[in-house]
Structure 1
């Protein structure tokens, strides 16, 4: 039921006059009306305000239009949006209506984007409860991390992109499970002011899109980078593959990622296999830093409000509150060690990017899912780059009923390089899917 519109193509169509923002909004809201009873991507659709904004966009003179002019985009429930609920996935915060936009929402609106609504997340982004959102390919399967509503919305076409947060893989994980592109920019590149803290210093603001070009458009608009090119190919680039990321993979995941690596090599990239032993410590340090930050954030929340948190979140925060200062200090030293090791590998091996699977496994059945067991398995390959702050993007390397994501990471500030490699992977994946369709 999706509209089959990308951000880039829709922006061009609006600019050329072949469509209007109102027509785009009508189409997207029609998809939302048809799909929401099944997928539940939205906490709140702001239909009236979105239609009014589309009318205003069509009346705006061309010289005053921004790069996201008239494009309907969803926003995660952890991100403050003036006049709309920002309940952080929690029933205890159900009456929270901010009077100010988060910094990223202000940038979005200033660039001409239209907030179509707020999208479901796990409570505080922790992944310890079950939102109502369901995977459109199979509602019995896990639909991803805490930017779950955004991924499902983009997948069905009830928004053209989704702004979310990523504290341990919460953008890249659902993107991979839905065959979408999920970018976690360099830490701090996109302002987190006005975002409900999930795992504090691990948190990043990013987005989920249909294509790499769409992600580049948002990067240019929301990070003030100017045009971001993704069409330069991979000839001459050195692609690192660390052994840590290639253990205990589902066979289909391993095969799809290695096929993409072979295609990158055929395109002129050099694939370099290496080891970064310090990565083995990343998961534990990430967990301690994130949990201690979460405990600190909720420490001053009134007891009657905390009493309304889900049992999983209450138990997590109680355990997090017992983490000692010495444990946190050791975790930060490990963070520094992992950061130095990744940077040293990039430098000494002269690597442009690190490539890996985004996830070690596909979507598991909700009925048998155990968060305490399965979430660490899902986040093992994504969380190192939250700990270190390097930019990383998940791009589909296999479409169909069982999508597979390939993760591309790069030096701090080299976000455009991750998208350049992702675009090459995307081109191979699209070509292969077209060949399969032709038989």
Structure 2
């Protein structure tokens, strides 16, 4: 096994036991990037010199007896929306080609304090405003998209070009690429992780979260990056648990909700079959299933876009006028459309969100988590604009992705995507686990129980080398 093939927790164990050096791991990962990324296109920039410098420093500290923890010497990719001091952070946009921040984002400070090795900046759909990440390809099938907007992060992780990565999620942008690339992706509770130093798409919907190759790896990253930040007013000053503490406790006796409506409306039959089989497997592990009705199904899409679109346009209003010709056409069109949204419609969307939050609070009474498909379909082909459902109806790719992701953003509840199968073309399928506020340990525990009972997380794309 090459070092780059190791999951985060496997590499961490070998580094802790001094069976693997951070330099050896970093050199292996950088070699993997050099060999693959001209075809995958996961990285906006690769930090060869900085990564090796950090790896040598980590190795010296560990040899000297100063082991910082499971992320010490581990290779991490950071979405190119998140500031890294002295390294270009472009949001994958021509409008920010020369932007080099002076300070790190809060999440990068946490990673570096834990001894992580940042190997590069991963591509995003421009300014995180899309679900395709056009610069990047899906490592399972290079003629398919990796999802977005954190497509570069997901592609880098599943192709073993880093042990973990950081993404952002405003309408599903951690969970969408995780589902279509076959990684684990966690969108934490709104306010659990500081967004200081991260370019906003929609300030009241934005979340930061990890993408990894196992649930345990995601828990290890959460132990490092979660927490209150007085410089981000959206963060909540609440205790942060050890996400790894009860990870393997299983689901015996847990009550898991299975939606009768909404999530299974307009869905690919192969995706539905895989998700329902995953639900049956969790029941076989001792969970109790309860059918539930998702409240106000007609409100999710108008509320999501009614909030996201005008907030994004407000953020970009000045630069759109100064350098509008540098935006990609799809993003520019959305930003221009956002300026036409009435303030009254924005307020109505915010009121609808309040109804949804109340509805989910009531629905969760007596439940530990909710199980659903992460997405209704597997990865779209490059250039594909819509899906056709079994009843003959069509739905735009962006709408289909956001439809099953938006509930987590509008409610601010934690959502985890874990691999639960493949379609006949060999493209991954994701199971989504949604939890109560700040119940990340619970959704991770459910995901770990399922992951330990299956082998989906052990698979990796073949034929890239």
- Shorter chain as normaliser: what TM range? over 0.9
Is residue 260–residue 425 contact of structure 1 (8 Å, CA) maintained in 2?
yes
Is residue 305 of structure 1 aligned with residue 323 of structure 2?
A: yes
Partners of 1:159 and 1:128 lie apart in 2 by 22
TM-score, with length taken from structure 2:
0.90
1:322 counterpart SS class: coil
Shift of 1:199: 2.0
Once the two structures are TM-superposed, the CA of residue 172 in structure 1 deviates from its matched residue by 0.5
Given the alignment of the two structures, is residue 364 of structure 1 paired with residue 387 of structure 2, yes or no?
A: no
Structure 2 partner of 1:406: 431
- Between stretches 240-249 and 416-425, larger displacement belongs to 240-249
> Is the counterpart of residue 373 in structure 1 residue 373 in structure 2?
no
Does the Cα contact within 8 Å between 2:187 and 2:208 map onto a contact in 1? Answer: yes
Distance 1:415 1:128, change over 3 A: closer
Q: CA deviation at 1:182?
A: 0.3
State the match for 1:437 in structure 2: none
Secondary structure in structure 2 of the residue aligned to 1:300: helix
Query: For residue 242 of structure 2, what is the aligned residue in structure 1?
Result: 227
Give the superposition deviation at 1:430.
1.1
The range that moved more, 152-161 or 421-430, is: 421-430
Name 2:163's counterpart in structure 1.
160
Q: Do residues 323 (structure 1) and 341 (structure 2) align?
A: yes
1:30-68 residue CA offsets vs partner (Å, 9 max, x unmatched): 110110111011110000010011000011133452431
- Residue 168 of structure 1, CA deviation: 0.7
Aligned to 2:296, the other structure's residue is in SS state helix
How many residue pairs are counted as aligned between the two chains? 432
Higher mean alpha-carbon deviation, 304-313 vs 235-244, is at 304-313
Query: CA shift at 1:304, angstroms?
Result: 3.0
Residue 97 of structure 1 and its aligned partner are, at CA, apart by: 0.5
Structure 1 position 378, deviation (Å): 1.3
| Alpha-carbon separation, structure 1, partners of 2:321 and 2:353 | 33
- The CA distance in 2 between the partners of 1:412 and 1:317, in whole Å, is 31
* Contact 2:136–2:145, Cα closer than 8 Å, also in 1: no
Identify which of 68, 76, 80 aligns with 2:79: 76
Q: Which runs of 5 or more structure 2 residues have no equivalent in the other structure?
A: 228-239, 388-394, 460-465
Unpaired runs of 5+ residues, structure 1, are 435-439
CA distance in 2, matches of 1:129, 1:184: 18
Residues 399 and 12 from structure 1, CA distance in 2 versus in 1: closer, same or farther, beyond 3 angstroms? farther
Given candidates 346, 349, 353, the residue that maps to 2:369 is: 353
Distance 1:217 1:47, change over 3 A: same
Which residue is equivalent to 1:286? 304
Is residue 208 from structure 1 mapped to residue 216 from structure 2 by the alignment? Answer: no
Q: CA RMSD, aligned part only?
A: 1.9
2:419 is the alignment partner of 1:396: yes
Kept in 2: contact 1:396–1:429 (CA 8 A): no
| Cα 1:245/1:128, change in 2 over 3 Å | closer
- Shift, 1:325, TM fit: 1.1
TM-score normalised per structure 1? 0.95
> For residues 408 and 179 of structure 1, do their structure 2 counterparts lie closer, same or farther at Cα, with a shift above 3 Å needed?
same
Taking the aligned partners of 1:175 and 1:432, their CA distance within structure 2 comes to: 11
* Distance change (3 Å), C-alpha of 1:375 and 1:151: same
